[in-house]
Amino acid sequence: MVALTDEMKETIAKNRVVPMATASKDGIPNVVPMASIRVVGDDTIWIMNNYMVKTLRNLEENPIVALYFYDPESRHCFQVKGTAEIKTSGPDYEMFRDRVRAKSDRFPTRSLVVMKITDVFECMPGKGAGKKVL
- The whole-model pTM stands at 0.93
Into how many domains does the chain fold?
1
In a domain, 131, yes or no: no
Sheet holding 29-34, edge to edge: 29-34, 18-23, 64-71, 76-87, 111-122, 44-49, 37-41
Range of the domain at 10: 6-122
- Say if CB 65 and CB 115 are below 8 A apart: yes
Q: Is 113 part of a structural domain of the chain?
A: yes
Residues in a beta bridge with 31 = 21
The string of pLDDT tens digits covering residues 22-81 is 999 999 999 999 999 999 999 999 999 999 999 999 999 999 999 999 998 888 899 999
Q: What are the pLDDT digits (tens) for 106-131? A: 999 999 999 999 999 998 888 888 88
CA distance 30 to 93: 24
